[in-house]
Each structure stands twice: as C-alpha cells, then as structure tokens.
Amino acid sequence: MPSRLSSIATLTLLGSCAIEAPRGWEAELEQKIVDRATDFPNVDKILPGGVASTERSVGVQQGDELLFGICLDADGERTIWYLDVRVLAVEARKWLEFRGVPDFESRVRPDPESFERMRAEERAWHDEMEAKGFDFMALASEVPIARIRVEAFDGNARSLGHAESDVSATLLERGLLDAFGAGYAQRDVMRGRVALGSDAEELELTLAAYEDVQTVGRGVAGCERFLSILRSNPVTKRILFQVIALPSLWSMLTNLGVSTKFEVDFFASQRVDPDRLPSTVEGPVWSAPTMLRLNGQPALLARIVAGSPASPHGLAAGIVGVVGRHPGDPDRSLHVQLLASRSGTR
C-alpha cells in the first residue's frame, strides 16, 4: 500500500509548478462557445424525444430533465460523457438558505446614510436572534425543495452511476440573467475587483450600484449551488480532476492541504452571438469568465454560458454550457453543452 508521502509525491509530479493564468484566456474561451451537438450522437438513447429548447413555464417542476454532453480533449484523445439531471420531487419544507459573501462584495459598501440604515437592521436582527437563543431555524420558512438525481453515462450511453441531492428550487429558478445584467451595468466600477479579491480597496457605491453588486453575489451562489449538485456524482468529480491543475507540494504543505475557491466574474459578462448557439436556444444568452483556484492558484479556467431559467432550464439556473481549459495546457480542454431537455409537471 503506498504511503501518504508517496501519494503526496505523486500529486507533486502532476502539479509541481505554480501556474499563472495566461493573458487573454477569457477572450480565447469566449471564441470557443459554439454548437458542438454533432460530437454527441447518443442523445436519444438517454433522453428520447427531448429537445434543447426553452419552455415558458415558471419554476422548477417534478420531472424536469436536462441532458448535458461533456467532451474532454486531453493528451491527443477525446472522451465523451453524458450527464442526465432530473427533478425527482419538489416538496415544501422548512429551509434556511445561507450564502457566502464573495470577497468583491465584502469590499464595497453603500453611501453613508444607506450603510447606517443597514447596520441598524443588522443590529435589530441580531437582537431578535439573541432573544430566541440563536435558534436560526426559527427564521426558516417553508420553501420548495427539489430532490435532484444526477446520472452519468459514457460515450456509448452506458450508465456509470448516479447520486441524489436536495436544493432550494427557489435559488435555482432565480437564474443568472439578473446577475449578468447587474454585473454588466457595474462593469466599469467593478472591473478587475473579482481577481483582486480581499486585496481590493474598500469602495463606496451608490445604493443602486451596491444592490447590483449584491445581485451579482446571489448569482455566484446560484452557480456554486448547481455545480455542487453536479459534483455530487463521483463520475463528474473524476472528469473535473482530469482537467484541473493540481497545486504544488509546497503549496499543499504551507496551506495544510488544499483550499478551493470558485470565482465568477459577472462584471466581465458578454452577450453571446445567437449564431454561435443551437437554433433551439431562445432568448438572450450571456457568458462570464470563471476560475477555480486551488490554494490560490488557477486550477481551471472557464466561461459559464447561461440564458433563461424558465422550466426546465431553471433546474440548472439557466446554464446551457461551459467551455474550459487547463491553465497551463490549452490542449487539455473541456466543452459542456445542453443537448436535450424535457419539462415536468407541477
């Protein structure tokens, strides 16, 4: 049995050098947003009769189903997988949804009058919670919770395994379009601040601009939640492992392991030309640069592509694709595309 030290040494060989994101990677990946449905010939074996179109019903519904294709190009070889994401049930449940505050959001505040009013509201909330003995579930309300099944298939449509998880349907069906719009509106004020993170200087904004930044923060949470659903399947974890850059031994030792950070820069959003998308994808579609960091180093560079969160696309927060690459090897690339969908019933 290999020792812990030999395992670390193996990881070091795979990711021994600090990697910097190459200049212009965002534009490079934006050009790779194209329809590659012909790379995935076995759609009907998994979701017969499904169509990759945007339905106009609202919300996440039982029976909603999305089929994504995943293509990994690495070491001169191409590997295809399919990922079927389905809503098994939606039920009302007591639920308290928290989200983390991204660094870019924590480094801004509204004008002094609005800031003091918000601080007063926070103090009132704290006093209320103290009176209740900090029983946070006392603040929980009944919300629709979706039970979601994620099943992976190989290129020949053979099942590789499935996993299930629960998520707030409200969080997903909110979608990302508001975050794209708010980020684009504040692109000049917030340019570069996602990458700076906690090193960005504190910035005072108008109340409207501050609320836009909060909308962007909620969009990041929606992205993170949907991607966490996909990572619940062990197959998708292995796929991600094949494209990311691993941190160096020195980085692992100094950080006592591996810390993960997910960044989406909605302030660098761009509209996607409809001519580069399948004709069945309707309405405005946007993309935003995305980075996965391990121990502070770039591990995966990507652009998330998303449109309307109407059913059944609300199941994925409106995400219809991802294009990505290894930060140090442009030939190790990832293409994820929505291939088919089916709406369920309430």
Q: Which tens digits make up the pLDDT trace of 194-234?
A: 999 999 999 999 999 999 999 999 999 988 888 888 887 88
* Helix 207-231, helix 177-185: angle, nearest 10: 140
Rounded to a whole number, what is the largest CA-CA distance in the chain? 63
- Comparing 235 with 159, the larger pLDDT belongs to 159
pLDDT in tens, 177-191: 999 999 999 999 999
Q: What is the pLDDT of residue 94?
A: 78
Q: How far, in Å, CA of 24 to CA of 253, rounded?
A: 31
Q: What is the pLDDT of residue 248?
A: 63
- Comparing 122 with 321, the larger pLDDT belongs to 321
Under 8 Å between Cβ of 252 and 8? yes
DSSP letter at 306 equals E
Under 8 Å between Cβ of 286 and 307? yes
Q: What is the pLDDT of residue 54?
A: 45
- Comparing 324 with 8, the larger pLDDT belongs to 324
Question: Closest Cα to residue 73, out of 322, 337, 325?
Answer: 325
Cα angle 207-181-337, degrees, rounded to a multiple of 5: 145
Under 8 Å between Cβ of 180 and 288? yes
- Comparing 223 with 12, the larger pLDDT belongs to 223
User: What's this model's pTM, rounded to 2 decimal places?
Assistant: 0.84
Confidence of residue 333 (pLDDT cuts 50, 70, 90): very high
Q: What is the pLDDT of residue 249?
A: 60
Residue 59, phi-psi category: left (phi > 0), alpha (psi -120 to 50), beta (remainder): left
Q: What is the pLDDT of residue 136?
A: 59
Q: What is the pLDDT of residue 203?
A: 94
- Comparing 259 with 216, the larger pLDDT belongs to 216
DSSP letter at 272 equals P
Cα angle 51-56-275, degrees, rounded to a multiple of 5: 55
**Alpha helices of the chain — where are they, by DSSP H?**
4-14, 25-30, 43-46, 103-106, 112-131, 169-173, 177-185, 187-190, 193-196, 207-231, 234-243, 249-254
